[in-house]
Amino acid sequence: MFYKKKGLPEEGEYVLCTVKKILFHSVFVDLDEYDRKEGMVHISEVAPGRIRNLRDFVREDKKIICKVLRVKLDKGQVDLSLRRVSIAMRKKKNTDIKQEQKAEKIMELLAMKLNIDVKNLYNDFGNKIWEEYGSLNQFFQDVATDQTSPEDAGIPQKYTATLKEIVKDKIKPQVVEMDKEIELRSEAPNGIDLIKEALKKATELAKQKNYDVKISYVSAPRYHVKITALDPKSADKAMTEVISEAIKFITSNNGYGEVKK
């Protein structure tokens, strides 16, 4: 990884490590994301149960994900755990690392297109973006979805047009899908029309607010609502507003509506 964080990690943080030395009761590692920092995994934190040989679990130069247990600032010592990293967290951390490596490839491509040393890019703006966003990938995701721009981030003008072009080409926006089922009922003579109007009101609201919503029939009186958004918070907001619009209309006309799941 090109960018190296300064200082030491925080307790509870998950870090990418490279195994450097294996002793009888401990494993020493390099903290790949930090500038010249090391950590130690005690044998009791390598795996549950009795361990006869640490090399059955780790080997030199192997990449591992660890959890930071303790940080002793006075000694610069970082105590780590391998066994306390769940499969889900390991997968998430590895995904984050791959995304960040992809972002670094964008920096390399920008340097190649402009025929400059990639180190200059990090000195001019890359390190600043990392410190402000905590991730090049997150910044590029925001640029790709027009939530920010290189200009807004203060990136020198000589880079902005080319960077934006590369990001738009290489970064495909991540989306979140959310599904819920609602029930709409009416005992009125024109009940079917009222339900149709309730769904129409919900659809019109979604269109007005540019929500990506699909409403489909399941079986009377149930309807399926699917929201696609750029993040969970936006998806939840859209789902709440769309469903509320349908239920508000049907209940105001003496009908009944609720969220089933």
Contacts of 163 (CB under 8 A, 6+ apart): 106, 110, 143, 150, 155
Res. 1 pLDDT band, cuts 50 70 90? low
Res. 230 pLDDT band, cuts 50 70 90? confident
CB 34 within 8 A of CB 4: yes
- Residue 100 belongs to what H/E stretch? helix 87-114
Res. 147 pLDDT band, cuts 50 70 90? confident
- Residue 98 belongs to what H/E stretch? helix 87-114
Q: Of 174, 182, 234, which Cα lies nearest the Cα of 210?
A: 234
Cβ-based neighbour number of residue 218 at 10 Å = 12
Q: Identify the structural domains of the chain with CATH numbers, from first to last.
A: 14-85 (2.40.50.140), 88-170 (1.10.150.190), 176-259 (3.30.70.1130)
Q: How many helices (H) and strands (E) does the chain have?
A: 7, 9
Q: Of 29, 37, 47, 159, which Cα lies nearest the Cα of 107?
A: 159
Q: Of 132, 131, 126, which Cα lies nearest the Cα of 104?
A: 126
Whether the predicted pLDDT of 5 surpasses 90: no
Q: Does pTM surpass 0.75?
A: no
Res. 86 pLDDT band, cuts 50 70 90? very high
Residue type, 45: E
Q: Of 256, 88, 259, which Cα lies nearest the Cα of 180?
A: 259
Tell me: cis bond preceding 189? Omega within 30 of 0 counts: no
- Model confidence pLDDT, tens digit, residues 186-204: 999 999 999 999 999 999 9
- 47-65: b (≥16 Cβ within 10 Å) or e: eeeeeeebeebbeeeeebb
Contacts of 202 (CB under 8 A, 6+ apart): 213, 215, 225, 242, 243, 245, 246
Cβ-based neighbour number of residue 26 at 10 Å = 16
- Model confidence pLDDT, tens digit, residues 87-107: 999 999 999 999 999 999 999
**Residue 160, φ and ψ in degrees, nearest 5:** -60, -50
Mean pLDDT of all residues in 210-232: 91
